[in-house]
Amino acid sequence: GESVGLHLPTLSVQEGDNSIINCAYSNSASDYFIWYKQESGKGPQFIIDIRSNMDKRQGQRVTVLLNKTVKHLSLQIAATQPGDSAVYFCAERASSNTGKLIFGQGTTLQVKP
């Protein structure tokens, strides 16, 4: 069946360093992926997305990389700040008709001052 997972439950980085959060997915037919950020006590918030016809997409301080060969997705955060501390989820679109998403379990990013 479909599943989306993250490699590490917790990632701890020093403020100012770059962070890399990884995600593996199993459905090779998936064509759309999203990264969400969830701060404590809040709902998930959209960060960046990527379609399967791309292998890289950049936003402000964030970059998403997609490797369809090994079904791997990563989120890179440049110059990590204390405000980046949160749980990060990758999500995979299960069906283009319904908008249904399957979420991974999440990686907690801890930024040390």
Partner 1 sequence: NAGVTQTPKFQVLKTGQSMTLQCAQDMNHEYMSWYRQDPGMGLRLIHYSVGAGITDQGEVPNGYNVSRSTTEDFPLRLLSAAPSQTSVYFCASSRPGHGKETQYFGPGTRLLVL
Binding string, residues 9-48; x marks residues near partner 1 by CB under 8 A? x----------------------x-x-x----xxxxxx--
- What is d(CA 111, CA 15) in angstroms, rounded to the nearest whole number? 6
64 binds partner 1 (CB under 8 A): no
**What is the token pair recorded at 78?**
């440049």
> How many C-beta atoms lie closer than 10 Å to residue 112's C-beta?
11
Q: Compute the radius of gyration of the chain from its Cα atoms.
A: 13
54 binds partner 1 (CB under 8 A): no
Binding string, residues 82-101; x marks residues near partner 1 by CB under 8 A? -------x---x--xxxxxx
Nearest approach in angstroms of CB 16 to partner 1 is 29
Q: Which residues bind partner 1 (CB under 8 A)?
A: 9, 32, 34, 36, 41-46, 49, 89, 93, 96-106
